[in-house]
Amino acid sequence: MHILYVIHAFPWNEATGATLVLDNYVEQAALSNITVSIMVPESAYKNIEYSQYGDAVRLYSFRSQENWAISGFDFALLHAEISVPVLDVLPDLVHVIDWVSFHPALHPFLRRLGCPIVRSVCNFEEFCPLTTPVFYDSKAKSCRAPLAPEQCLDCVADNHKLTVPGALYTYKVLLRDLVAYRNNYRQGITPLLSRRTEFVMNLFKNYVDYVVFPSGNFGHYFRAQLQDTIDFKVIPHGLREIAAVPMRESILPIKIIYTGGDRVAKGWDIMAGALEILARAHNSQFEIHCVGNSHGIPEHYFENLNIKLIRAPAYRRHEAAQVLSTFDIAIAPSQFESYGLFVRECVRSSVLPIVTPSMGVSEFIVNGENGLQLEEPFGESLANAILALTADANALTALRRGLNVSGVSTAAAEFEALLGVYRQVSDVPDVV
């Protein structure tokens, strides 16, 4: 059997949830004697000399779509006549992990291959031009599905990054032109947003045969927006099995990891509220490491002497267990999380996760058994949890040692469940 995986980037160029999942699929497919190829948009077809797959995996590119979040959902582009790649080996099955940045003509092209199309849905970019529907609701919760196009119009116009091309402007001229540019932008996206739901419903009706969701809560949310009946299955993402790393005993200062940066969907607003409270507590028994992309976090948080906030570089996937083993607590206050691989990695590494009840995370975390789930108001609740946990290092060590890891799935178990879907939709006999 030969599977064509479609995704927005190669795993060696980007360490996001989608690419990590694809990397697992490629590895597990090889163990099952299934050959694969990968297709990415032209804009992401780069650094192929760093491919860890060698000649075993064929790599293809397809036309990219500029400003995909808005213009990728244009009916006029769906059947556009564009040049398409010639595949060396025709697939027996196509698995679309996502189609971010692809030209919409990708869908008819895949359908013309004449094989079943399985679709993973791990985020909300089809319906939300800002990818995660958390910007419109002032209470910092996920927008209620189904979303209304006029609601999305105001949100996108307010939150989409607008730039005014041209030379230097005085403040008044810049403000005048920015308002005009914003109004023009709003007028331009109105017709596309008004038919966006129709476009996506057409996509899932005519160009997808089966859908896989990572969590039941997220699947329910997505299907409420789709307003249509689809064949689907919930298959939790799994972690690649690794050698056990010894657990770090909790000693002062307690080490805390946060990886969300200043992203709203990852809970920066909640984190900022907690930091304000922690700064007033004058507690020096912990340090918070902002790992990864933290350049958007205002500098004054790092300069505040009443809290110890430290910038730390991102880690590579193979370093995750080793890096996490140096921490005691993980803060994951996501406002929107379809699954939560990071939280599960923390539990496996005996790092106590403090989480908000967001979709895929609330399905996994049992309060007190494998983590702590915050209650509203989240910022205050987070600050209080940190102060309580860091007051007694021995008690924290006991909590971490008792974390229940039974709910953490493996990459092998995930792919075995996926093979069941492949068998169901495919007539190819050698899906073992």
Q: What is the 3-state secondary structure (H, E, C) of the chain?
A: CEEEEECCCCCCCCCCHHHHHHHHHHHHHHHCCCEEEEEEEHHHCCCHHHCCCHHHCEEEEECECCCHHHHCCCHHHHCCCCCCCCCCCCCCEEEECCCCCECCCHHHHHHHCCCCEEEECCCCCCCCCCCCCCCCCCCCCCCCCCCCHHHHHHHHHHHCCCCCCCCCCCHHHHHHHHHHHHHHHHHHHHHHHHCHHHHHHHHHHHCCCEEEECCHHHHHHHHHHHCCCCCEEECCCCECCCCCCCCCCCCCCEEEEECCCCCCCCCHHHHHHHHHHHHHHCCCCEEEEEECCCCCCCHHHHHCCCCCEEEECCCCHHHHHHHHCCCCEEEECCCCCCCCHHHHHHHHCCCEEEECCCHHHHCCCCECCCEEECCCCHHHHHHHHHHHHCCCHHHHHHHHHCCCCCCCCEHHHHHHHHHHHHHHHCCCCCCC
- Check pLDDT > 60 for residue 367: yes
Instruction: Summarize the confidence of residues 336-356 as an average pLDDT.
Output: 94
Interval 406-416: pLDDT, tens: 889 999 999 99
Name the average pLDDT for the chain.
Answer: 89
Q: Do domains 2-130+196-238+411-425 and 254-401 have the same CATH topology?
A: yes
Domain assignments of the chain as residue spans, ordered by start: 2-130+196-238+411-425, 149-194, 254-401
What pTM does this model have? 0.90
- Check pLDDT > 80 for residue 135: no
Interval 379-397: pLDDT, tens: 999 999 999 999 999 999 9
Q: Which CATH superfamily is domain 254-401 in?
A: Glycogen Phosphorylase B; (3.40.50.2000)
Just give the CATH number of 2-130+196-238+411-425: 3.40.50.2000
- Check pLDDT > 50 for residue 98: yes
Most confident of 144-153, 166-175, 343-352: 343-352
pLDDT band at 160 (very low <50, low <70, confident <90, very high): low
pLDDT at 341 (0 to 100): 93
Instruction: Summarize the confidence of residues 297-324 as an average pLDDT.
Output: 91
- Check pLDDT > 90 for residue 242: no
